[in-house]
Structure 1
Amino acid sequence: MPMSQSFQDRLFPIVEKIAEHYGTPFHIYDETGIRETGANLKKAFAGIDGFREYFAVKALPNKRILQIMQEMGFGFDCSSIPELIMSRQVGGRGEDIMFTSNNTSREEFLFAEQDGGCILNLDDITLIDKVPNFPELVCFRYNPGPKRTGNVIIGNPVEAKYGVTHDQVVDAYRRARARGASRFGLHTMVASNELDYTYMVETARMVLEIAEMVESELGIRFEFVNIGGGFGIPYKPEQSPLDLGAMSGEITALFDSFRERHGYAPRMVMESGRYITGPHGCLVTTAINHKDIYRKYIGVDACMSSLMRPALYDAYHHISVVGKEHLPKSEVCDVVGSLCENNDKFAVQRELPPIQEGDLLAIHDSGAHGHAMGFQYNGRLRPKELLLSTDGTVELIRRAETVEDYFATQDYRQDVFIPAG
């Protein structure tokens, strides 16, 4: 189900005091839930030697959250210079960081090799000759094309801009070796928010088969394979959670079988983001208006600049009206923000308890791809982020944007250029 009952039990009795102290809207994350999920993931895959999670920084790019990941022994999956900086600021170094970018610039390659470097995960065969200083350890992102089907979020692999094709993959490693690489990894990412665990099992099977193929062609041995992220969470109450136990058992068996055939097995890594933090966050917002026209609308003080998944993906996020969780859901309404866009809605024709102005609404599962996907359209600013710590205290881990922030990029030294013509 959405947002764990234990998180609700910790948060809802104190959320009015939190709102009174900090003001709304805010995203709040549950340290206890994040750490429990991380521990469960490590336990599930303990049977694969060298297993490691590389947290997908894009899901929740906050230094305080990354500090928790570092304390759990996780690495960091980065795709931009700011994500590299943030990961290094919390102690990530060298092979703690996997840099999986696409359409990568020379500037990014040069930055990635600084401060101890990283695991360079190349997205295209043409980039081999564009890496300024080729590293000893290199990885390629594999796109299976028509050999696999994607899902609704990540799309059809044939149409995806990511990765090297099946026909290119052997040549990619051959050319990387010619440039000086002597250590190798293999990566793929073919699903997003997938709840069918068998899809992940087949992904693990696929990368191991590709590793075998490349090894047979080139004689290279892979140090690791990265099955990507994509572990789903149940946003809707009627959905069942991902069967982590069954999935890890079947994937571990695949690695055991590989070891029996080859006398070794590569390490397995993954880059979950949503699965680690998604259910352990919520957006708390206050009902400030109500409107009855052709539909009933409840206006809140957050808008899709705080959480754009419903507008972008038509995604469902469960909503609790704090203090009214057990009341009948007797009204049907749209829960909306203030943007001049009609898709600025957190819920459409949702059955909810009667909502009065001043009520607090908790929009579930905002712990991944929530604040991170925010924007400033219409001059609506991104909210603060809070952490509900394991000791019960609440910590501000990102302040809200201000009007001064909004205008900061328009405060610059004048630069007028008149091209010769």
Structure 2
Amino acid sequence: MYDVEREKKVIRQGEIKMKKEPFVTKEQIEEIVKSYPTPFHLYDEKGIRENAKAVKEAFAWNPGFREYFAVKATPNPFLLNILREYGCGADCSSMTELMLAHELGMSGEEIMFSSNDTPAEEFVYANEIGATINLDDFTHIDFLEKTIGAFPKTMSLRYNPGGVYTLSNGIMDNPGDAKYGFTKEQLFEGYKLLKEKGVERFGIHAFLVSNTVTNDYYPTLARTLFELCVEIKEKLGIKISFINLSGGVGIAYKPDQVPNDIRVIGAGVQKVYEEVLVPADMGDVAIYTEMGRFMMGPYGCLVTKAIHEKHTYKEYIGVDACAANLMRPAIYGAYHHITVAGKEDAPCNHKYDVVGSLCENCDKFAVDRMLPKIDMGDYLVIHDTGAHGYSMGYNYNGRLRSAEILLKEDGGAQLIRRAETPKDYFATFDCFDIIKGLV
């Protein structure tokens, strides 16, 4: 959970140095709401493009590099097409994500299919469109063969080293508790079996720690995987063609955090590459990444309006968004910074709970948050919702998903997904004729 006292301390240390700046102004919001009422998710085209360019440049030293954007983070075709302009592919984990990527014209090696507990029909479709299948479990080798027959020429396996993974800055996670991936013994046996069955090109994938705010994570993971790939080559005579570092590179949700520097991260991976792979005659191995949060997170925000205030045992500000629009704070206390539009330089001298309308007491975007005085009608910008924001929305209490809007580089606004209507909510009740008269 977020430490309120720490936030107050940060504010006292200096608002100008520590505060997060929104990419949209009050004046721009006021113009947008003339056409699209709050709440809505807003995306920064300029920021997305600059970041995608930086990622491409950071790994330009590796000729085979490709970023496979994690579609689950932000499944919007307009945004996916922007990333494609910078060479990005799609990391998919379900049938519908595969269909979305394919409908946008992606096929073959542009699509990575990394799923778990996978239904047979999804393997069939992934194989049909030529996606690279990244298997999550040893038993899936037999399951895949029974499902599609002959194996594709390229296959990838997901590795889980088990234990506890610790970085130099104290960030820890526990791969041993995760449901994903092969053990080392299963991995070696899996590659041997796939080679016997005609697979010619092999990849490896691993995801160990979530949302790291450190430049050390990718280089640390890279060393683990690079050394493992050298061992696979020496013991099995199998050369790994691509190494997928997956996601885990996080963003600075809190104002006192120092954001990751993707160019430093890329250089760190290059250093380990040259130390481990090049001497092993593996200097042509391609590096892949699957960043969702880092690619899109800071370049989206949830714009909502203050519509109620309540004075009881605490001070509450009720907004027209709710956890159905952004569930991360409600389900696990995730911190999202909040800016009151037009009051960016006002003192944060009021303590509020910022809440939504769901019949759940956890429907809170902030608890005991120090903010400027909020007046009814003020617009609140909830930062860093560009990944795992809209995509995790739901319809509890009959709440409807909001619109998605792209703030163009020229300052204009483009609707890239309309808001849901009651007709959408009732669309699956085809057997109830009475419903048709309600919408």
Indicate the TM-score class for this superposition, using the shorter chain for normalisation. over 0.9
Aligned-pair CA distance for 1:20: 2.4
Of 219, 224, 234, 2:237 maps to 219
Match of residue 265 from structure 2: 247
Match of residue 67 from structure 2: 53
Match of residue 119 from structure 1: 132
Match of residue 201 from structure 1: 219
Aligned partners of 2:171, 2:119: CA distance in 1, in Å?
26
Aligned partners of 2:192, 2:282: CA distance in 1, in Å?
23
Is 127-136 or 144-153 further displaced after alignment? 144-153
Q: Which TM-score applies when normalising by structure 2?
A: 0.90
- Which residue identity is paired with 2:160? N
Match of residue 40 from structure 2: 26
Of 295, 300, 311, 1:281 maps to 300
| CA 181–220 in structure 1, closer or farther in 2 if over 3 Å, else same | same
Query: How many residues are treated as equivalent by the alignment?
Result: 411
Aligned partners of 1:296, 1:336: CA distance in 2, in Å?
10
- Which string of whole-angstrom CA distances, capped at 9 and with x for unpartnered residues, describes residues 342-372 of structure 1? 1100000001111111111000011000000
The answer as to 2:86 corresponding to 1:72 is yes
| CA 413–217 in structure 1, closer or farther in 2 if over 3 Å, else same | farther
Aligned partners of 1:295, 1:3: CA distance in 2, in Å?
25
| CA 2–327 in structure 1, closer or farther in 2 if over 3 Å, else same | closer
Contact 1:289 1:300 in 2 (8 A): yes
Gaps of 5+ in 2: 1-16, 434-439
Aligned-pair CA distance for 1:307: 0.4
Contact 1:2 1:365 in 2 (8 A): no
Match of residue 422 from structure 2: 403
| CA 173–154 in structure 1, closer or farther in 2 if over 3 Å, else same | farther
Aligned-pair CA distance for 1:404: 1.4
- Which residue identity is paired with 1:138? M
Match of residue 174 from structure 2: 156
- Which string of whole-angstrom CA distances, capped at 9 and with x for unpartnered residues, describes residues 305-358 of structure 1? 100111122111010111111111121010000001011000000011111111
Aligned-pair CA distance for 1:154: 9.4
Aligned-pair CA distance for 1:153: 11
Contact 2:297 2:386 in 1 (8 A): yes
Aligned partners of 1:384, 1:154: CA distance in 2, in Å?
36
Aligned-pair CA distance for 1:73: 0.9
- Which residue identity is paired with 1:126? T
Partner secondary structure for residue 258 of structure 2: coil
Partner secondary structure for residue 269 of structure 2: helix
Match of residue 322 from structure 1: 341
The answer as to 2:316 corresponding to 1:297 is yes
Aligned partners of 2:20, 2:316: CA distance in 1, in Å?
27
- Which residue identity is paired with 1:74? C
| CA 63–322 in structure 1, closer or farther in 2 if over 3 Å, else same | same
Kindly report which structure 2 residues correspond to 1:60-139, keeping only aligned pairs within 5 A, or say none. 60-115=74-129, 117-131=130-144, 132-133=148-149, 134-139=151-156
Match of residue 380 from structure 2: 361
Partner secondary structure for residue 223 of structure 2: helix
- Which string of whole-angstrom CA distances, capped at 9 and with x for unpartnered residues, describes residues 250-306 of structure 1? 210121231133253311010001111100010000111000000010000000010
- Which residue identity is paired with 2:165? R
- Which residue identity is paired with 1:113? N
- Which string of whole-angstrom CA distances, capped at 9 and with x for unpartnered residues, describes residues 36-73 of structure 1? 00111111111122111110101100011111111111
Percent identical: 48
| CA 317–349 in structure 1, closer or farther in 2 if over 3 Å, else same | same
Runs of 4+ in 1 over 6 A off after TM superposition: 1-4, 150-154
| CA 324–3 in structure 1, closer or farther in 2 if over 3 Å, else same | closer
Gaps of 5+ in 1: 415-421
Is 393-402 or 334-343 further displaced after alignment? 393-402
